[in-house]
């Protein structure tokens, strides 16, 4: 289980939405985790894993940790709907919550910080080798004549959640998808290079 990059949903390894490759076609089901009544699951849960086989799942308003034997370690009612749950280079969990920001939790389920990168209706983040975090946020709205307008930004943070720089993308007429893929393009590059790239 520790080496698996996919998540079994409803005991079906082919039902994973967590990897582009198909899951294994042979094997033995080791365990199935069923939430207690208070944990409401959504159709597509978010999953991250550590090197010890612990799964961290985000679904609806909940974060849950499950060990490699299927035992629930902890659960937290986070009162947000997380998206894009991932491990940071330092080992924490990070996810985006609409109109809240980018939330960081440790592996014991304690909230570490919130990157309040303005109020955003969409969020994407990436990391570089120095454990800096690049966050992207955007608004898209439509006027009465159906003309779509975009307003976005990208911000760099260090590993202690201190803002390094911020770039407003208001003047750029590009889609949310282009902006969010730009965040990934600079993962692994020094912040100064990413900042200069936005200034060109």
Model confidence, pTM: 0.62
Q: What are phi and psi of 153, to 5 degrees?
A: -160, 160
Structure tokens at 91: 């080992």
Spatial separation of the C-alpha atoms in residues 68 and 98, rounded to whole Å: 31
Tens digit of pLDDT for each residue in 169-185?
Answer: 654 434 444 444 444 44
Separation in Å, CA 5 to CA 94, 104, 132, 197: 18, 22, 24, 33
H/E stretch holding 113 reads: strand 111-115
Task: Name the more confident of 140 and 79.
Answer: 79
Tens digit of pLDDT for each residue in 115-171?
Answer: 876 555 567 777 777 677 877 776 655 556 655 555 677 788 888 888 888 877 654
């Amino acid at each position: 289980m520790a080496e698996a990059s996919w998540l079994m949903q409803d005991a079906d390894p082919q039902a994973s939405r967590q990897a582009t490759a198909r899951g294994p076609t042979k094997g033995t089901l080791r365990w199935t985790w069923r939430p207690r009544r208070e944990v409401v699951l959504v159709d597509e849960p978010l999953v991250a894993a550590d090197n010890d086989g612990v799964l961290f799942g985000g679904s609806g308003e909940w974060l849950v940790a499950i060990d490699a034997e299927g035992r629930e370690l902890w659960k937290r009612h986070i009162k947000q709907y997380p998206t894009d749950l991932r491990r940071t280079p330092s080992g924490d969990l990070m996810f985006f919550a609409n109109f809240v920001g980018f939330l960081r939790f440790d592996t014991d389920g304690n909230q570490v910080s919130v990157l309040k990168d303005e109020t955003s209706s969409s969020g994407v983040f990436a990391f570089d080798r120095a454990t800096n975090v690049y966050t992207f946020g955007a608004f898209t709205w439509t006027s009465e004549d159906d003309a779509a307008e975009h307003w976005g930004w990208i911000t760099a943070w260090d590993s202690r959640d201190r803002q390094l720089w911020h770039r407003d993308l208001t003047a750029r007429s590009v889609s949310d998808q282009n902006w969010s893929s730009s965040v990934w393009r600079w993962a692994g590059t020094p912040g100064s290079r990413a900042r200069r790239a936005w200034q060109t």
